[in-house]
């Protein structure tokens, strides 16, 4: 039964082809062990990736040993990496769970690039999706947060997303597959665990067919999101664009159904929140300004003007070596380290091979004609084309920065480093750059 769900999900959602090479994320728990076995049974070329977060002492090591043994017996290429997760979480100001997520996904992407793998498969299943929806609903969310976990995000695929936990357990028993239980899953320290251990069992008392009801509702929510997306596109079509400026007609604000939600979603990508959107609908005073970290809204007689904040751009700043440097209202920190996990999931950070970098560096707003070789690519690209391909709007484009030296651009901040400066297996010293808002 699980195998059928796996096949149907892969086929109907076009997750991967039999010719694709797949990196399977395997923790040693029941879900990921079943997923790895399924890929083997279906004849895929797979490699396994296991992360030891060093959070549970010997138990973490035993998880790693189980996965390593399973792979060794079946001649599966096995990759493992350990992280000091608590230290990383403290350094970044993150919860342990969020830190672990950032570390593993950054490493999975790095490994897939290095091994030239086509897909990264994770073992998220139906109850994980239900937990995510309930968490989003509890904390507050827009329409997108009600659509659950996507079955695919870039090269990351989730073939078990439609499978109930009971099917996974039955599959493990049928095939005699060993797995390990993470005892922390039974504890209620985290919000997700409380939902899993307390809320869902109570909801199942009310509705024993909760998973089926959830699947049906999820399809409804996704259809509603499509309808909402069309309304948002219609609203955006009413705008008048002049260069980097957008005019939002007052008429569109007064004649668009559900305008509060639509305006909130539209303004989100410019750094505004729901309270800002509600203020736009209330303000009638000409000349009134509403500011986000990167943009401003100005109330004109017949429209709101949306434009970038010019004071945030600054000018060129020379970087002679390590330290913290101000440019405009941003701070660029520069430091060397012997080893560091390349955190590609953090767009405000760049990790470079220090021995490939010549000094001094310079940070400045990008300009027309700028070119660089994006990480993972062979040829150079115009920065303008790169931003266009990633659907960066005209008003957002002007607030992007580059770090360069005499050799050219090292980093398009917020996006990618230049490939010639990437970290490799032979890297001995790492240069870490971080650009963030600076109010000090």
pLDDT at 166 over 90: yes
Phi, psi angle pair for 355, to nearest 5°? -70, -15
- The helix/strand/coil state of 289 is strand
What is the CATH topology of the domain spanning 2-213? Rossmann fold (3.40.50)
Using pLDDT thresholds of 50, 70 and 90, give the confidence band for residue 312: very low
For residue 431, the model assigns a pLDDT of 92
Arithmetic mean of pLDDT, 404-410: 93
For residue 277, the model assigns a pLDDT of 95
pLDDT in tens, 370-392: 999 998 888 899 998 888 888 77
Taking the C-alpha atoms of residue 284 and residue 58, their distance in angstroms, rounded to an integer, is 63
pLDDT in tens, 106-135: 999 999 999 999 999 999 999 999 998 998
- The helix/strand/coil state of 135 is helix
- The helix/strand/coil state of 429 is coil
For residue 99, the model assigns a pLDDT of 87
Residue 252's region, left for phi above 0, alpha for psi from -120 to 50, else beta, is: alpha
Q: What percentage of the chain reaches a pLDDT higher than 70?
A: 93
For residue 440, the model assigns a pLDDT of 42
Rounded mean pLDDT of the chain? 89
Contact yes or no for 240/246 (Cβ under 8 A): yes
Where do the structural domains in the chain lie, given as residue ranges?
A: 2-213, 238-308, 312-437
For residue 108, the model assigns a pLDDT of 94
In this structure, of 96-100, 187-191, 284-288, 377-381, the range with the lowest mean pLDDT score is: 187-191
Encoded tokens for 77:
């290429």
CATH number given to 312-437:
3.50.40.10
Arithmetic mean of pLDDT, 215-224: 91
Write the CA distances from 151 to 13, 104, 193, 351, integer angstroms. 8, 18, 22, 30
Encoded tokens for 5:
């769900």
Pure H helices in 140-273 = 165-175, 191-194, 200-206, 210-237, 250-255, 259-268
pLDDT at 246 over 50: yes
pLDDT at 145 over 90: no
Encoded tokens for 70:
């399973």
Pick the CATH number of 238-308 from 3.30.465, 3.30.70, 1.20.1050, 3.40.50: 3.30.465
pLDDT at 139 over 60: yes
Instruction: Find the helix or strand (DSSP H, E) in which 358 lies.
Output: none
**Does the model's pTM come out above 0.75?**
no
pLDDT at 329 over 80: no
Taking the C-alpha atoms of residue 158 and residue 418, their distance in angstroms, rounded to an integer, is 30
Q: Which residue has the tokens 């089926």?
A: 212
Are both 238-308 and 312-437 of the same fold?
no
Using pLDDT thresholds of 50, 70 and 90, give the confidence band for residue 355: very high
């Amino acid at each position: 039964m699980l195998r059928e769900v796996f096949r149907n999900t892969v086929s109907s959602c076009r997750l991967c082809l039999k010719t694709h090479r797949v990196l399977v994320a395997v923790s040693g728990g029941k879900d990921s062990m079943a997923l790895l076995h399924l890929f083997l049974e279906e004849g895929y070329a797979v490699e396994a990736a296991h992360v030891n977060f060093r959070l549970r002492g010997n138990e973490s090591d035993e998880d790693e040993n189980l996965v390593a043994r399973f792979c060794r017996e079946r001649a599966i290429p096995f990759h493992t990496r350990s992280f000091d997760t608590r230290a990383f979480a403290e350094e970044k100001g993150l919860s342990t769970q969020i830190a672990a997520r950032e570390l593993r996904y950054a490493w999975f992407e790095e490994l897939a690039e290095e091994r030239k793998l086509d897909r990264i498969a994770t073992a998220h299943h139906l109850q994980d999706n239900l937990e995510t929806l309930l968490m989003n609903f509890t904390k507050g969310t827009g329409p997108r947060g009600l659509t659950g976990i996507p079955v695919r995000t870039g090269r990351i695929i989730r073939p078990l997303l439609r499978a109930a936990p009971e099917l996974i357990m039955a599959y493990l028993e049928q095939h005699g597959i060993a797995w390990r239980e993470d005892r922390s899953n039974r504890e209620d320290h985290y919000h997700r665990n409380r939902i899993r251990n307390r809320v869902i069992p109570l909801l199942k008392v009310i509705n024993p067919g909760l998973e089926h009801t959830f699947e049906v509702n999820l399809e409804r929510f996704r259809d509603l999101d499509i309808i909402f997306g069309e309304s948002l596109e219609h609203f955006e079509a009413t705008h008048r664009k002049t260069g980097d400026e957008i005019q939002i007609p007052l008429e569109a604000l007064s004649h668009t159904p559900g305008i509060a939600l639509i305006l909130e979603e539209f303004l989100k990508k410019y750094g505004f929140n729901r309270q800002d959107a509600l203020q736009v609908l209330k303000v009638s005073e000409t000349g009134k300004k509403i500011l986000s970290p990167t943009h401003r809204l100005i109330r004109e007689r017949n429209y709101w003007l949306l434009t970038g904040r010019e004071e945030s751009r600054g000018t060129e700043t020379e970087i002679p070596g390590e330290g913290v440097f101000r440019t405009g209202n941003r701070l660029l920190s520069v430091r060397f380290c012997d080893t560091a996990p390349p955190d590609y999931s953090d767009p405000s950070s760049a990790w470079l091979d220090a021995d490939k970098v010549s000094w001094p560096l310079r940070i400045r707003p990008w300009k027309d004609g700028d070119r660089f070789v994006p990480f993972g690519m062979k040829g150079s690209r115009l920065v303008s084309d790169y931003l266009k391909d990633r659907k960066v709007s005209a008003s957002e484009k002007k607030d992007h920065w580059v770090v360069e030296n005499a050799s050219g651009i090292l980093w398009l901040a917020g996006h990618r480093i230049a490939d010639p400066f990437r970290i490799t297996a032979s890297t001995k010293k790492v240069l870490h750059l971080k650009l963030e808002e600076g109010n000090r």
